[in-house]
């Protein structure tokens, strides 16, 4: 980094966060429409496009933040950011449910692809908790942990399984709701323009999201708050802003599979980024720096994901507090989990 964010005053840091947040919100909103056009032209399906493209691009701030923190010798901030973002991302489905406001969001799930994505994400996040609990072993030449490498490889395999599962008919919704006509996603760009605009939106999200996270980290340092809970909540929320903007944009276009795939895909990429953080950290396996707080955070993400997977399977149409029963339960679990994590921290 050419400068240290911690050198700025709190006033300047909050201004940076406001400007970066505006940039990220605009880019994330545009990105949802661009990815939807790519899915339509390539035929890869909304759920997989949301997982691979939206999820991958909106994970770029986490990639920059985790790499920077590991290079600075603070790998624990990397882990807490990634695990915090994973739980907060699931919470964004609750926000999306409220924005949708016409019944439970999971009631709109009519294809099995999001179910497979959610289950794979739960398995791999549980793998993170297990890896932290039993400890990792350093690979001498590569300089990373064996388990972080295996988790990254497993994430790639999960993407392959999801791509094959996109057109599967192994599960079919009974009595699906009437589909509302999807909104037009804007101009009909050429393939070259579409690719260029998508890359530009991705760059804006990476720069803006990383600035958000680094400014949030500096605010945490200046305020004297604990690294664990700040990395989980404050920095995690900052790096989740791209997902929030893209999810809301996708829901406004009535691209429900795209929105859910974005969240599940981002969480898969977050697990892969643990390996990247391991590459940049020279003090041993990065997972060995984690402990009870991080295991609990990973389990929280697993439970919240499981709630939405069950919601997609049951597809109840009852609502409470302007959201589905699954969203309400996930919200309560998150609040309880955050309180428990605060006690541990």
pLDDT digits (tens, 9 = 90+) for 126-152: 999 999 999 999 998 888 999 999 999
Single out the residue of 25, 31, 56 nearest to residue 264, CA to CA: 56
Burial of residue 154 (number of CB atoms within 10 Å: 0-12, 13-18, 19+): middle
Helix pair angle (75-100, 60-71), 10° resolution: 160
Residue 123 CA to residue 154 CA, distance in Å, equals: 10
210 vs 135, residue with greater confidence: 135
Q: Judge whether residue 124 has pLDDT over 50.
A: yes
> Does residue 283 register a pLDDT over 80?
yes
Which pLDDT score, from 0 to 100, does residue 102 have? 78
* Sign of the CA dihedral running 119, 323, 50, 150: negative
Provide mean pLDDT across the span 164-176: 69
pLDDT digits (tens, 9 = 90+) for 288-307: 999 998 899 999 999 999 99
For domain 7-176+185-344, give its CATH number from 2.40.50.140, 3.50.50.60, 3.30.1490.20, 1.20.1420.30: 1.20.1420.30
pLDDT band at 333 (very low <50, low <70, confident <90, very high): very high
Q: How far is CA 302 from CA 70, 88, 131, 170, 333, in A?
A: 25, 12, 15, 24, 11
Q: Is the pLDDT of residue 203 over 50?
A: yes
User: Would you list the DSSP string of 170-226?
Assistant: SS--SSPPPPPPPPP-S----HHHHHHHHHHHHHHHHHHHHHHHHHHHHHHHHHT--
On the question of pLDDT at 225 being above 70, the answer is no
Residue 213 has pLDDT above 80, yes or no: no
- Whole-angstrom distance, CA of residue 129 vs CA of residue 287: 9
Sequence ranges of the domains in the chain: 7-176+185-344
Mean pLDDT of 54-69: 87
Band the pLDDT of 1: cuts 50, 70, 90.
very low
Residue range 83-93, pLDDT digits in tens: 878 888 899 99
């Amino acid at each position: 980094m050419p400068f240290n964010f911690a050198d700025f005053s709190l006033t300047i840091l909050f201004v940076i966060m406001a400007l970066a947040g505006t940039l990220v919100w605009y880019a994330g909103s545009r990105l949802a429409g661009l990815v939807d056009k790519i899915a339509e032209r390539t035929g890869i399906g909304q759920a997989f496009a949301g997982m691979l493209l939206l999820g991958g691009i909106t994970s770029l701030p986490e990639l920059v933040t985790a790499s920077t923190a590991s290079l600075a010798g603070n790998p624990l901030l990397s882990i807490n950011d990634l695990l915090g973002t994973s739980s907060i991302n699931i919470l964004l489905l609750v926000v999306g449910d409220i924005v949708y406001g016409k019944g439970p969001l999971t009631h709109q799930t009519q294809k099995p692809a999001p179910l497979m994505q959610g289950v794979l994400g739960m398995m791999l996040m549980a793998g993170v908790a297990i890896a932290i609990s039993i400890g990792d072993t350093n690979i001498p030449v590569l300089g990373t942990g064996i388990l972080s490498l295996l988790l990254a490889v497993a994430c790639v395999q999960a993407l392959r399984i999801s791509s094959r599962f996109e057109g599967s008919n192994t599960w079919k919704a009974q009595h699906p709701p009437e589909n509302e006509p999807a909104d037009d996603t804007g101009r009909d760009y050429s393939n070259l323009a579409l690719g260029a605009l998508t890359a530009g939106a991705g760059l804006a999200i990476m720069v803006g999201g990383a600035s958000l996270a680094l400014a949030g980290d500096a605010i945490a340092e200046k305020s004297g708050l604990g690294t664990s809970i700040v990395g989980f909540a404050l920095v995690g929320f900052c790096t989740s802003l791209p997902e929030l903007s893209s999810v809301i944009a996708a829901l406004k276009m009535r691209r429900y599979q795209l929105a859910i795939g974005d969240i599940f895909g981002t969480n898969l990429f977050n697990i892969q980024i643990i390996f990247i953080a391991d590459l940049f950290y020279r003090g041993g396996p990065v997972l060995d720096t984690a402990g009870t707080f991080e295991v609990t955070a990973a389990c929280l993400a697993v439970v919240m994901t499981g709630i939405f997977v069950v919601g997609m399977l049951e597809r109840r149409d009852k609502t409470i507090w302007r959201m589905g029963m699954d969203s309400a339960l996930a919200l309560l679990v998150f609040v309880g989990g955050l309180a428990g994590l605060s006690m541990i921290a």
